Structure 1
Amino acid sequence: MNRTAKVTRPLLMAVAACVVVLPLLVVVFGTFKTLPELFDAPLAPPSSPTLDNYRAAVEDGGLGSAFVNSAIVTAGAVLLTLVVASLAAFFCARMPGRAGWAVFGVLVAGLAVPAQAAIVPQYVLFDRLGLTDSLVGLVLVNTVTTLPTAVFILGGFLRTIPEELYEAAELDGASPLRAFRSLALPLIRPALATTGIFLFVMDWNDLLYPLLFVRSQENRTLPLALLDFQGEFLTRYPLLFAGVVIASAPVVVVYVLLQRQFVAGLTAGAVRG
């Protein structure tokens, strides 16, 4: 490594760190400030920290019920997507010849279709089925939207399992479902954790479908509830920042709890690919 690289690399890393850390400090510090104090010194620590913004966000802003709705929708969509995607990817990997690749290609073709392109037919279909303005409808539409991504990730891992293991399971009398449950699932556990984290972030932060499907206050999710903190002429930034921190906390917690499996899944994918 030459001298120029030794000097510029730490400098670029420091600039990148500042770009990430400084806005984060403004948000976190702002949750403990009043609006005038935030405008006077956005980067300074709060002189008189207060939890009033968090209290107002949960009680007055309705983030408590929105948090529960987001948890229900995200948990349901992630679990349903993982079950359907793992089964679909397994049977695609086990199909002989080009049939498996053909079905796999059809399933992951949804990655090439922007979500916005399917909004109108999705809304018409769900409205006729009576699934708009309901948490069940949000679970189903999130599952359909994220299913191609999950099948694509899990399919790559399932195809790396040696054929000899399946043959040994068949000799022991295992059915395809038994082989899936007892052989494939334990081997792709890191991939399931990696995929689950991706799905969790996508479903938890989704605003498009709640904005389109949800009309009542009791079915709002967190991203939709945060929109109410922005007024036409005035935005209560400390209250909004408190809501952002509350909405971001579960994502951080899930990543911390599953980071070992997440890294293992990425590493396995890099080595096998």
Structure 2
Amino acid sequence: MVALTSVKTLQETFRDPLGLPEDGFQWSNYSAIFEEQTMAGYFMNSTIVTLCSVFLTLFFASMIAFGISRLNNWMGNILFGLFTLGMMVPAQVNMVPLYSLMLDLNLTNSLLGLILVNIAVTLPIAVFILTGFMKTLPKELFEASTIDGAGNWQIYTKLALPLSLPSLSATAIFLFVMHWNDLLYPLLFITDNAYKTLPLALLEFQGEYSTNYPMLFTGVIIASAPMVIAYVFLQRFFVAGMTAGALKG
């Protein structure tokens, strides 16, 4: 229904929502959404925010998870517990203090502000997933590397990261979907059209008394395409990451 509506006129949508287009497929909807609605700029904003957020979250989370997995004592358990507690706080609870903080830092209406918020919000879940995987890695490999003279940074970059590629890929897809589809924080922090992301821009097609469904659904398909493409190319890593460690004794 979404695909059919995206190639209809508004009149055809209301006349026959489930029927085929009577006046031919309106492929012009796709060109119009970029030409008239500056969708290219919104698409670029979403791309910048999502890619930077995913990369930096994985970078920090993988280092934290590596450190926790190497600390086989009470300190590691406390650190892991603190990040786990971060998953229990609903996003809505943080809205007022977070907005006040970003306002004081002059980071509202800023892509950098969105990136920093995304990292802070999703870091606990990324640490939780990656720590669970890194704890299944054989400790003998790390001990052998230490005996050979490798430092912690070398063990992390040349041993832990390559072995954690399935889990990193699965976490990356998970984070990509969360950041790409996020509406709450752009709605909270962004008011300038120049910094709007795709989910926030799609609200422009919905008015108080009417909604342009063909253009709205065209935007939905455009916004969904990167997630579908990412999953198609990374699905084997996603499945491997989800099942990694399942057979560990």
TM tier, smaller? over 0.9
Mapped partners of 1:152, 1:269: distance in 2: 14
Q: Residue 56 of structure 1: CA displacement?
A: 2.2
Q: Counterparts of 1:215-230 in structure 2 under 5 Å?
A: 215-230=191-206
Mapped partners of 2:245, 2:229: distance in 1: 24
Q: Residue 126 of structure 1: CA displacement?
A: 1.2
Whether 2:87 is the aligned partner of 1:106: answer no
1:59 corresponding residue in structure 2:
35
Whether 2:226 is the aligned partner of 1:250: answer yes
Q: Counterparts of 1:1-273 in structure 2 under 5 Å?
A: 26-47=1-22, 48-272=24-248
RMSD: 1.2
Please state whether the residue corresponding to 1:262 is helix, strand or coil. helix
* Paired-residue identity, %: 53
Provide closer, same or farther for how the CA distance between residues 146 and 238 of structure 1 changes in structure 2, counting only shifts above 3 A: same
**In 1, are the aligned partners of 2:136 and 2:245 still within 8 Å (CA)?**
no
Mapped partners of 2:245, 2:61: distance in 1: 17
> 1:132-158 CA deviation, whole Å, 9 max, x = no partner?
110000000001000011000000000
Task: Show structure 1 runs of 5+ residues with no match.
Answer: 1-25
What TM-score does the superposition give when structure 1 sets the normalisation length?
A: 0.88
Mapped partners of 2:106, 2:53: distance in 1: 18
Mapped partners of 1:45, 1:262: distance in 2: 36
**In 2, are the aligned partners of 1:62 and 1:225 still within 8 Å (CA)?**
no
What TM-score does the superposition give when structure 2 sets the normalisation length?
A: 0.97
Mapped partners of 1:33, 1:200: distance in 2: 30
Please state whether the residue corresponding to 2:136 is helix, strand or coil. coil
Provide closer, same or farther for how the CA distance between residues 213 and 37 of structure 1 changes in structure 2, counting only shifts above 3 A: same
> 1:77-121 CA deviation, whole Å, 9 max, x = no partner?
000000000000110111131211111111221110001111111
One-letter code of the match for 2:45?
A: N
**In 2, are the aligned partners of 1:131 and 1:137 still within 8 Å (CA)?**
yes
Return the structure number with greater relative CO, CA threshold 8 A, min gap 6.
Answer: 2
Mapped partners of 1:154, 1:140: distance in 2: 20
- Write 1 or 2 for the structure with the bigger share of helix: 1
Q: Residue 163 of structure 1: CA displacement?
A: 1.1
One-letter code of the match for 1:245?
A: I
Deviating more after overlay: 176-185 vs 71-80: 176-185
Task: Show structure 2 runs of 5+ residues with no match.
Answer: none
Aligned residues: 248
Q: Residue 53 of structure 1: CA displacement?
A: 1.5
